[in-house]
Structure 1
């Protein structure tokens, strides 16, 4: 069982604040095309689950990026705030959103087979391909 941490963060303009109390301190990189387009590179994020408080929800715009997820951003400053799995209360939040991410450890990458050749991380990580991610997380039809 892994230890969780509490984290606080806010968007660039400060109107959206998050306090998360059950954060897995493991940063993952997603190399899928949508995450790269959304973030301008790989999305480096942490799993926050559902134990979080969002202040300033009225300042968030959510975009339904797939049948199973939506992406939230501040409608004032554009800060990327979350990747949310529809039908759950589970949130994945960019690691850089949090004010003091010193307790995070980069340890996994998903959609590794979609990663462009122009960058490589030096860390040794657990890597999953697109097919492995879908097999693990998508419900069987």
Structure 2
């Protein structure tokens, strides 16, 4: 894990993130597809390790009963996905890999909601791929619980 810096497209919002792992994942769920236009490709970063500048430009949407998404209100760059419901995921932010100034050395290790990905959208390589049912089971969420 390492310290990395990043920013939105226009530079109004920037951040320093500590304890950034060198692995990341992609989510193909409907909300992530709609938010990004393709898939959310992001790294999990501890909430306590992120320092933001330009916070006045951060706009937050409570996108579900359990999570929020944020973006730069000046340029529209997606900044993070954050679980707000109590539990182990609420201590983390999912930061899009494309925001980092230098993402070298980072490796894709998983895709989730693979059965919901856009047609023809393939990420090559040998990594974990989980369907909607598999990811819900991993987190102990009943199929009808969403």
Q: Which runs of 5 or more residues in structure 2 are unaligned?
A: none
Which residue in the other structure is 1:24 paired with?
21
SS at match of 2:109: strand
> Equivalents in 2 of 1:23, 1:39: separation in Å?
21
Inter-CA distance 70–8: structure 2 relative to 1 (3 Å threshold): same
* 1:121-132 aligned within 5 A: 121-132=123-134
Work out whether residues 38 and 118 of structure 2, in 8 Å CA contact, stay in contact via their aligned partners in 1: no
Aligned counterparts, 1:12-91, within 5 A: 12-50=9-47, 51-87=49-85, 88-91=90-93
CA distance in 2, matches of 1:102, 1:89: 25
1:133 corresponds to: 135
How far apart, CA to CA, are the structure 2 residues paired with 1:139 and 1:32? Answer: 15
Gaps of at least 5 residues in structure 1 are none
Cα displacement string for residues 56-104 of structure 1 (whole angstroms, at most 9, x for unaligned residues): 2221001111111111000111111000111424100000000000021
CA displacement at 1:123 relative to structure 2: 1.1
Partner of 1:96: 98
Count of residue correspondences: 138
Task: Measure, in 1, the Cα distance between the counterparts of 2:57 and 2:126.
Answer: 38
Partner Cα distance (1:25, 1:13) in 2: 25
Distance 2:18 2:78 in 1: 20
Contact 1:22-1:52 at 8 Å conserved across structures: no
Q: Which runs of 4+ in 1 moved over 3 A?
A: 138-141
Structure 2 Cα separation of the partners of residues 24 and 137 of structure 1: 21
